[in-house]
A and B are shown apart, each in its own frame.
Chain A
Amino acid sequence: MSILHTVNKTGQPLALCLRAVSSGDSVLLIEDGVYALMSADQSLSMLPDRCAVFVMDTDAMARGVPASVEAIDYDRFVTLCTEHDQVLSWF
């Protein structure tokens, strides 16, 4: 049982996602969620062990946010959806 969490904003959506995430889940930052990668934002450091973090490459590039985690395209997004039991959107 694993969940792919997509996060499209910092603030409440990111904060609640971090409370709900379990070890073995993955987090994908999309749209304005990519701002979680800005260096002053320490939120992602609270993730449990064995949690992969991804960022949508086009969203990060569009906003000028350096992708400090694995950047993925839409094909990989689809693959990630199939690799997890559920997809849960935080928005």
Chain B
Amino acid sequence: MSQSVCIISTRAPYSGQSAREALDAALVCASYDIPTALLLMGEGVFQLLQGQDSRHIPRKNISAMLQALPLYGIDSIYVDERSLLERGIEASQLCQSVTMLSQGELPTFIRQHSKVLNF
């Protein structure tokens, strides 16, 4: 299997440093030209909500960082569709377009990568 990395991010954007660390890991992998996928699951899908203004917390805006990923060669963000449904989030509320993964597709998707890291 050729080298590829899947980064799973499962925490809300400003809950500790997990979301930021997942993004940093994805950017590092991509900067070494390793094919990298970012998969948001559970509370991690809150990172995609549009309209985030984190200046007053004060923290770096996670959704802005997500939108910068294509510059680093990470063209697609993958999302567990069920995690969106459970939270009543619709595609129109997201800050960018994503690739939805259904319950049936998820295990296969994860297995396609030679390394999987959970944040």
Contacts and interface: CB of A to CB of B under 8 A. Distances in A.
A81 interface: no
Interface residues of B, number: 17
Nearest to A89: B118
Contacts of B73: none
Contacts of A13: 10
A69 interface: no
Chain A interface size range: 10 to 19
A77 interface: no
B41 A88 contact: no
Given A20-B107, A21-B107, A12 B10 contact: yes
A3 interface: yes
Contacts of A1: 1, 111
Contacts, number: 39
Interface in A1-23: 1, 3, 12-13, 15-16, 19-22
Contacts of A90: 10, 118
B80 A19 contact: yes
A58 interface: no
Contacts of A15: 42
A43 interface: no
Interface of B: 1, 8, 10, 41-43, 80, 82, 103, 106-108, 110-111, 115-116, 118
Given A3-B110, A3-B116, A19-B82, 10 more contacts: A12-B42, A12-B43, A16-B10, A19-B103, A19-B107, A20-B107, A20-B110, A48-B107, A86-B116, A89-B118
